[in-house]
Amino acid sequence: RSRTSPTSRPLFLSPPFIEASLVEGSFKKFVVLPKYVDEDEWLAVNVFEFFNYLNMFYGTVTDFCTAMNCSTMSAGPGFEPYTWTDQNQKKSTKLPAPTYIDYVMTMVQNLINDENVFPTKAGREFPKDFQQTVRLIFKQCFRVFAHIYYHHYEQLLHLREEKHFNSLFAHFISFAKEFSLLPDKKELAPLEELISYMESKGRIC
Partner 1 sequence: GFGGKGGQEYVNFERSTEGFSKGTLDRSTAARLKLEHFYKVTLDQARERNERRTELEKKLEKEDCSGERKNRQLQSLGRKESSFLRLRRTRLGLEDFVTVKVIGKGAFGEVRLVQKADTGKIYAMKTLRKADMFKKDQLAHVKAERDVLAESDSPWVVQLFYSFQDTSYLYLIMEFLPGGDLMTMLIKYDTFSEDVTRFYIAECVLAIEAIHKLNFIHRDIKPDNILIDKDGHIKLSDFGLSTGFHRTHDSAYYQRLLDGTLNSGGGHRQLGSEANINLTLSSKDRIATWKKNRRALAYSTVGTPDYIAPEIFLQQGYGQECDWWSLGAIMFECLVGYPPFCSENAHETYRKIINWRDQLYFPDDVHLSPEAEDIIRRLICAPEQRLGRHGGEEIKAHPFFTGVDWDTIRNIEAPFVPNLKSITDTSYFPTEDLEKIPEQPQTTERINTNVTGEYNQKDLAFVGYTYKRFDELTRKNAL
Does residue 67 bind partner 1 (CB under 8 A)? no
Residue 36 Ramachandran class (φ > 0 left, ψ -120 to 50 alpha, else beta): left
Buried b / exposed e over 67-76, threshold 16 CB at 10 Å, is eeebeebbbe
Residues within window 107-126 making contact with partner 1, judged by CB under 8 A:
109, 112, 118-122
Counted residue by residue, the chain has a size of 205
Any residues with CB less than 8 A from the CB of 111 and at least 6 apart, and which? 117, 118, 133, 137
Does residue 199 bind partner 1 (CB under 8 A)? no
Among 21, 26, 55, 99, binds partner 1 (CB under 8 A): 55
Does residue 69 bind partner 1 (CB under 8 A)? no
Does residue 37 bind partner 1 (CB under 8 A)? yes
Does residue 23 bind partner 1 (CB under 8 A)? yes
- The 8-class DSSP code of residue 94 comes to E
Q: Cα separation of 102 and 160, whole Å?
A: 24
The site for partner 1 (CB under 8 A) is made up of 1, 4-7, 11, 14-18, 22-23, 29-30, 34-38, 41-42, 44-45, 48-49, 52-53, 55-63, 101-102, 105, 109, 112, 118-122, 154-155, 157-161, 164, 167-168
